[in-house]
Structure formats: C-alpha cells, structure tokens
Structure 1
Amino acid sequence: MTAWTTAPITPDLLRGALDLARTDRGLLPQRLPARARAQVPDEQTAMAVAQPSGVRLVLRTAATQLELDVVRTTNHYPGAPPRPDGVYDALVDGVLVERATAPGGDVLEIDLVSGARSLRRGPVGTVRFRHLPPGGKHLEVWLPHTEVTTLVALRADAPVEPVALPTGGAGHADAGTAGPRRPTWVHHGSSISHGSGADSPSTTWPALAAALGGVELVNLGFGGSALLDPFTARAVRDTPADLVSLKVGINVVNGDVMRRRAFGPALHGFLDTVREGHPDVPLVVVTALACPVHEDVPGPSAPVLEGGEVRFTATGDPADVATGRLSLRATREVVTEVVTARQGEDPHLHLLDGLELYGPLDAEEHPLPDGLHPDAATHRLVAERFARWAFAAGGPFAVR
C-alpha cells in the first residue's frame, strides 16, 4: 500500500502565475494580479486569465507516484462537438514522461450565438501520475491551458520541496541555489499564444520556444483578449523579466474593437508602460500570423457550425478598410510604423513579421482547422521558427 505524503500547495511551488487566489474550494492560479483582474470588463478575458497556460508546479522529489486533487472547469458549447479534456504534462528534467487528465469538475455552458453562460458545479477530481522515474528529480507538472483549474491538494509517495528560482543576473547562480539562473521571458499574445489547438500545455508554441531557448516562461497569452489593455501592460511592466515579447493584431481585428486612428496610439501607450518597468530589456513586437479570412476583411469574427464543427468567418466589409477599419494587413502596417518610429530611441526594441512564423504558403500547407487557430503541428512549426529567430546567436533573445 502506497504511503502518501501530503504537501501544502504554496506559491513557491508554482511558476507562470502572477497570483494565487483563494476560493471556497482551493487555490486558483491567475495570470494577472488582483488589481488588474478588478479592471477586466468581460467574462471572456476573465476566463482566459484564469486558464493556467504556462503555469506549472515545479518540485524536487524522489517520488514515483504523485496525485493532484483539482476542480477543473470545462467549457461546453451546445451544438458543437465536445472539447477534449485538458491535459496535465509531467516533465522530468525537461523531458515529458507522462500525461494525465482530471475527472469531475464544473461545466460552463456557453451559447456560441448569444454568449449566454451558465455554470454547473461538479466534484473534485484527482490527477494521477503513476510512472515517474525513480530517484531524485526535477519535476514539473504543467496545468491544462484549456481549463480553469483550482488546486485542492497535492500528494506524493516521497517528500516534495520547491525549487528555488535564483535571482541573480542571467546565467549566474546565487549562493544557496542549484545551478545557473535561466532568463525569464514574459510573452503576451492572443489565443494562439494561449495555446489554442496545441496538444498539451507544454506543447503550446511559447512553451516549446521557451524550452528551445532555455528560458523560464511567463505566458500572458489570453484567448480573444490581446487588446492592448492598460491593465495588461501594467502587469507586464511589473513582472520581473529579462526578455519581453508582444504579439498583436488578430484580436483587435476579430473583436472589431479599434479603428486605425486608435490602434497606433494604443500600441505606443502599451509599449510606453512596458518600458517603465523594463527600460533596457530586449523587447520584441510580433505582427499577426497569417489568417486568410481576415487578411483583407475586417471583423468581427463569427462562429459558424459546419457539419457539426465550429468554423469562424469574417463579417466585416473590406471597403471599410479605406476609412480606417482594421484588417490584418492594416494592423501589420500600423505595428511596423509604430515600432520603426520608436527604434531610433530604443535600441533594444525589435520587430518580427508574424508572416515569417506562419505565412500564406504555410496557410495552404497547414490550414487553420477552424479558420482562426492552428493545429498542434503548426504550434511546433511556429515555436521552432521563433526560437531560431530570437534565441540563436545574434538574435534579440540570445543568452548573453
């Protein structure tokens, strides 16, 4: 019979979260601090912030078995196929060794047309890892990027302890810590950065790129909510970082929330705020990846059920681009203008054309399954291209 050791879930066990909110059922990792969340104006953004993309438990242990009690929240869209269960990835010394899912949990029903929501509460479920390798190890448990996850209890068949995150300069060890410090990369983007379409939380394109670059990821990719919100800019500003990136364009278009006149100044303001906290760190601004439905057609996007599958279409009028409405092509023009204008006074600011990560030819060879979001193979493609551009020798994120 397994002898279990219960370990308290404390902030020093978690990475990638900016807050750990206490609820009536457990601890809820959040990817924005409380002050920022108080300013979130819509349920979509609040849900995206609470889905723990990039959040992971980081432990030192000799355990071969580990259990995590959670309350997950799954989304159900009437008329659409059921969404796959969220996945928990267990990585030992950086290598994926086991995957698991959680039963039970709450169900959030969302009407795709009206946006109406209703929540049905369910029981606590247990995530079980039974085949961890023996011996002392560095263990990371990545939480699902697609499910709001409340942490209830943690058990293992051997003691667990947190792994200190050194605080010295990049590549240097502090006294009392094991090994050199890895640079921290803070990234903000849309649902693609959040991980929509990826197989699992450790295989979203930012997670894969972080692994290739040897950096610690703080993923502030929020599905549907990369809208240059000031509260997000302040969160990026206030989060310790050695590297910062911002991918912007698609949500401004598919939410139809801005015109060209507002978009440029909003981007300037976002970058001004980030630079208040990170005046000299390498800062990369990435324009939108290819998305054929919105290249020349403004938003908003609208979901359509086709053969039991959800696809997205653009509902705007291309003629309106001439009067300031935004298509993806127009956002790339504005972002390029803003970054180019700033680079004379900001030598650490860099521009990456998103079409270098996923361009028109890629859209033909690896089409977006629902018209907006990539598949798992495309996440890997984008990660490899970003890492090759950013982290290679001479790149803006190259370890110095």
Structure 2
Amino acid sequence: MNVQIQHLYDIAQKTERRIIGLMSGTSLDGLDVALCRISGSGPDTNVILEAFATVPYADELKADIRLIFAKDQINFEHLCLLNPYIGRLHGQMVLDCLQTWGIQPDIIDCVASHGQTVYHAPKSQHQKEKFPNATLQIGDGDHVAAVTGIITFSDFRQKHVAHGGEGAPLAVYGDYFMFSEPNENRILLNMGGIANFTYLPADGDATNVFTTDTGPGNTLLDAYARQFLNKPYDEDGLLAASGTVNNALLQALKSNAFFEAPFPKTTGPEVFNTDYVNDAQDKSQTQALSNADLMATLVQFSAETIVNAISRTIQGKEICGNANSHIFRIYMSGGGVHNPVLTRTLQTLLPDCTFGRTNELGINGDAKEAVLFAVLANESLAGGRTSFGKREGVPSVTMGKVSFPA
C-alpha cells in the first residue's frame, strides 16, 4: 500500500483528529484558520476549537482577486496563475499560524481548505439548459499540501454539485452535526457577503434540515463603504445610522425572482453587486440619494430579505411566544453581527424570536465557517453515514478531494 494512503487510513482510524479548517469568503477580508480537535462523526461529532486566527489579505491580493471575481469576462491567464499562487499562499499562512501558536505541523492530521470562490453559477441563475449547476473555487489543494507537508482536503463544493446540489450553502452538514439541540428549534444565521441560514428543527430529524441563501448580507454594504468611505466596511454602521431608508429604492431592490424561489437556493455577487443597485436606482428614480440614505436602504434590504426567508421557514411552526411551544432561537455569526444597525433591524422585524450569537454554542462565530470545513473533512474521513433524505439541494454525500503532500 502506498505510504500516503496508509497514513490516510491510520488518520481515519483515530478516535480524535486535529484538523485545520480554512475559509475565505466573498468579502475577501482574509483567510480564517481554525485548529480543531474533533472526535466522533455525524450527530456524535464533538469539536473543540483549539486556536483561531484571521490572516488579513494584503490590498494587492484583494485587487488581484477582484480582477476575476464574479465577472463574466476575465483574463484567463490571471485566473490560471492565481490558482496555484493562492494555494501556496494559504499553505504558508497555515505554517505561520502554527509557528505563532507553538505547534509543530507533524501533529496536524489534515488541512480542510475551502479555497477562494471566484464564480458561482447555479442553473437557476445561468439559465443555460444543457449546463448543470456550477461553482469555482481556486487555491489548489495540491499546493496547500506541498507547502504544509500535511494531507489536504479541498474543493468540497464539487461533489455537492455532482449530486444535484448548487455547491452552497454547505453549512447544513456541519451545523446539524455540531449545533442541533432537542426541544429547541434553531436558526443558525450567517451574515457574510451573502447571508444564509440553517434550519435545525427541535425533533432533530436530519431530513427536515436545510440551509439556504437569503440574498445580500454585507456584500453591497462593503462595496459602498469602499466607495463612500475608502474603508473595507461601514464601522459600527455609523453611515447607515445617519441616513433614512428610501422605500421606493427598497422595493426596487427586492424585485428579483430569487427572493420568491423555493428553498434551498443560492446566489452571489454575480447577481447582487453595484450594477444591481444602479439598475434599481434607475427604476425607482433615486439616483440622487445621499450616501447615508443609500447605505441605510441597503442595510434595510439585507435585513428584510433575511427576515422574509426566516419567516417563510417558521410560518405555521411553533415559535417562541406560543404557549407550551419549543423556543425558536436565532444564533448569528459572520461579519454582519458587528453591524448594530443590521442586528437591531432584524430583532425589530422578528420580535417573537430570541437572538443570540454562535459563540454561546461554544464556537467562535467568526471561526464558524472555517470549523465547518474541518467537520466536513472529518466526515469524509470517519463518517458519511447520515442521511439528509431525498430532497433536491441537500444530497447525502461526503465532500472534499484528497491531496497528498508527496
């Protein structure tokens, strides 16, 4: 047997594994690096987050990625060059974090690398009959493995697409394994560039669990913060707080078939970008809005589309505030939790539900998505026995391609 395959087999037999999860989202802030100690699998998965860091991307790297990010036409050579470059960069970031934490690479069982999404094209979006759902993440796993010397799982989303999913969101799998709780209906709301949530019913039935995108989270807010403030985001929502929501623009922004499509569904900055906002302003004749009013309206847009999706999910179900019912609790994570205007609006629009943060569940909310990919790698190694039913978009599959370091 090849020594690398034997090593992989030995890791799979262990009662506990140390796995580093890597995540870089559409906000392009940087690479989240989560060192996890994981035992069990499936619903018996137990995760301890031993260390976490976000390694910021340099402005030059952000600019390089934006040349190809969510664009229909790109320089193909630039894409080709970035694929190994980002893989090697992520590998070095892992080594730098391990050195900072005083941990030797040889005690790490594997790396679980999401890569950097550069284009997301579900069939509902591209509308080309002969082509399936598609998504593309770069940062090749072979290069991560070669730089770190650690077995690497990567390219998780392709198996999901191959079995009829849209390649996202994948949080349904990790959220169910880590955060389901008997007698409490839960919404795990992640507000990254695109907002998504996982529904975890109190009965623990995996066939009723799903994750869906809701629309923009921070992607439009951050785009206009760069334009108006020359900053990566609207700190503490101060610009939005100083403005007034324009209802005409808000209704134009919400006039997209995506918002009424059935769950689960996915989207991305390919749809929700500054061109989308410009079109909505043209339709609503609001081109002269002040910066503050535009930002306030965009926050309301994110909040209302999140709330509408959650309301559709809990409609007709027992929710908090009803006598003798299970509590329906919303746990928030992602960059949006740091925007008080956004979080206050959510709570105002959902007064019958209680809100908390993922930190209360034992996992740092900022680390949650990186931890997810560590859990997915663990499931590929030691699990794969949980059925999520026959629903479209939630295939019962294990995910991740294996790259050996030599």
TM-score after normalising by structure 2 = 0.31
The structure with the greater share of residues assigned to strand is 1
Structure with the bigger RCO (C-alpha within 8 Å, sep 6+) is: 2
The structure with the greater share of residues assigned to helix is 2
